A and B are shown apart, each in its own frame.
Chain A
Amino acid sequence: MLMKQISVFLENKKGRLAEVTQVLADEKVNIRALSLADSRDFGVLRIIVDDPDRCLDVLKAKSFIAQTTEVVGIEIEDKPGGLDKVLDIIEANDINIEYMYATIDRRKDNAIVIFRVGDTKKTVDVLHKNGINLSSTENLAKN
């Protein structure tokens, strides 16, 4: 199971992030997880929301440059060593992590770590084989 992440291009200027969140608030789109990467001139906002398709539509309607990317959400036990176990598997299989960020799964007391990897399909296979649970957009949405 993969997650749909929405990423949004933001120029590095005052108030831009708030304009995105305003659009999502008006359209009642709920942000479940978020990360913001930035350089001197611009940033990329990455979000997991309850309704990614509608989220993409409303952002585009407001002329934001946004796109959907498939990312892997992994359920990780909320205790020491939880993340390490998963990263060991990923590293052992020579999978490249482009970026990652984390949120909480309130239903299960788990952490959910969202990975953007070089080879998504291989990652899913490898994790399945190792008995690691994947999370989905729907799971997070119900949170």
Chain B
Amino acid sequence: MIWNEKYETMKSADMKKHQSDKLVNLVNKVYDKVPFYREKMDTLGIKPSDIKSISDIVKLPFTSKDDMREVYPYGLLACDKKDIVEIHTSSGTTGKPVVDAYTSNDVEIWSEVMARTFAMGGANEDDVVQIAYGYGLFTGGLGAHYGAKKLGAMVIPISAGNSKRQLSIMRDFGTTILACTPSYSLYIAEIAAEEKIEIKGLKAGFFGAEPWSESMRKEIEEKLKIKAYDIYGLTEIIGPGVASECECQDMLHINEDHFYPEIINPETGKVLPDGEKGELVFTTLTKEGTPIIRYRTRDITYLDRSPCKCGRTTVRMHRLLGRTDDMLIIRGVNVFPSQIEEVLLKLENIEPHYQLLVSRKDKMDFIEVQIEMNEKLFSDEMKNLSQTEKMIEQELYKTLNIHTKVKLVEPKSIPRSEGKAKRIIDQRQI
């Protein structure tokens, strides 16, 4: 079922008109209300009157994650604070978190795009939706919650974790739709197999918040006997609901009446034609609380405007193809190797010869931090060496918020390179 026929099947020319109207409104509003955008536009010598249609968007400045952090917590507010009804933030592991503040209209938009998401995968008001994304400041849980409610389905707000309970609730209430991270769905399948619980009645799953692949989709679909849909979203834009797959499972439809996508060359910032790979950039056309202009996601993909068999006319994006930075997503937490380096360099006697080994054990991501031994760190006593490892693990945990395994290795065993050191070995088969 197409949830919103008007916008999801809109003709290209009409969509352009809609996007142009919204962009002109948006630019006038943020220039007036948000000093951050006004200053950026003034620096570039751009006035709101220069923006007449959606094609003028290329004149506007980009917004980066760092920009958003600098104005924490309320610097991007484009409305009165009293009109904000809810906030969400990113995990903030790399510094100050990014804030998404929603007016009641924004929550309505969020519900709408997530209802479209569920409908794209064939869900309707007869379904029982088990939401095993985390509830809280993380956008996953509540985003899916609002969408499923809007759809008229029955919502089970179980949140993440407690896998055995997930299975008993699933059985007792006859869950038909599962929403969680793809790796968690496999974990649930594994627990079911261990406990010899047969999963019956599930028909589809909506999986996002971490990268996954076609082979992982196949595994999930076989193990849970469902259709598995890729959904995409990010806190900076609205949370889940930015784009998602329809029943054709052939790329993700972007809700472009709300979120305008561009693909740029990450080095030059120039917009690339459809079909060419580059960095995905989003502008929120309709958000009131914290509207974002040309946000650089650092995700790499391409756009496709060819018609989809499902009948929707919205532009589609390919499943993510990578990142422009070296960010890792470990158990749903964003981790940058530079953060690990910073922790190590602050510790005494540790040389910056390290390597990160990322693997997936029992469906869970796992980082081993290999650090080269040196004479100052060495001791003839095993307990001192173990303590050193443990101390580094604790320091890393304080910054990263995830557990790592530190392993001391022999000197010169980590490959040196002339240029950029190869710090990450990602062995995950995803």
How far apart are B399's CB and chain A's nearest CB, in angstroms? 23
| A65 part of interface (Cβ distance < 8 Å) | yes
Interface size class of A (residues with CB under 8 A): 20 to 34
Contact with B along A1-37 (1 / 0, CB 8 A): 0000101011100001000000000000000000001
Is the beta-carbon distance between B380 and A39 smaller than 8 angstroms?
no
How far apart are B8's CB and chain A's nearest CB, in angstroms? 54
**B382 nearest in chain A by CB position:** A37
Which of A7, A11, A38 makes the CB contact (< 8 A) with B409?
A: A11
Interface size class of B (residues with CB under 8 A): 10 to 19
| B373 part of interface (Cβ distance < 8 Å) | yes
Contact with A along B2-37 (1 / 0, CB 8 A): 000000000000000000000000000000000000
How far apart are A46's CB and chain B's nearest CB, in angstroms? 6
How far apart are A75's CB and chain B's nearest CB, in angstroms? 22
Is the beta-carbon distance between A11 and B413 smaller than 8 angstroms?
yes
Measured between beta carbons, the chain A residues less than 8 angstroms from B408 are: 9, 41-42
How far apart are A113's CB and chain B's nearest CB, in angstroms? 17
Residue from B408, B409, B410, B412 with most neighbouring chain A CB atoms (10 Å): B410
What residues of chain B have their CB less than 8 Å away from a CB belonging to chain A?
Answer: 373-375, 378-383, 385-386, 407-413
Which of A10, A46, A98 makes the CB contact (< 8 A) with B410?
A: A10
Measured between beta carbons, the chain B residues less than 8 angstroms from A42 are: 373, 385, 407-409
Is the beta-carbon distance between B374 and A65 smaller than 8 angstroms?
yes
Complex Cα–Cα for A16 and B375 (A): 18
Complex Cα–Cα for A99 and B379 (A): 13
Is the beta-carbon distance between A44 and B407 smaller than 8 angstroms?
no
What residues of chain A have their CB less than 8 Å away from a CB belonging to chain B?
Answer: 5, 7, 9-11, 16, 37-39, 41-42, 44, 46, 63-67, 69, 98-99, 116
Complex Cα–Cα for A7 and B413 (A): 19
Complex Cα–Cα for A11 and B385 (A): 12
Complex Cα–Cα for A69 and B374 (A): 16
Is the beta-carbon distance between A9 and B386 smaller than 8 angstroms?
no
**A69 nearest in chain B by CB position:** B380
Measured between beta carbons, the chain A residues less than 8 angstroms from B375 are: 65, 67
Complex Cα–Cα for A10 and B378 (A): 11
Is the beta-carbon distance between A9 and B382 smaller than 8 angstroms?
no
Is the beta-carbon distance between A67 and B380 smaller than 8 angstroms?
yes
**B410 nearest in chain A by CB position:** A11
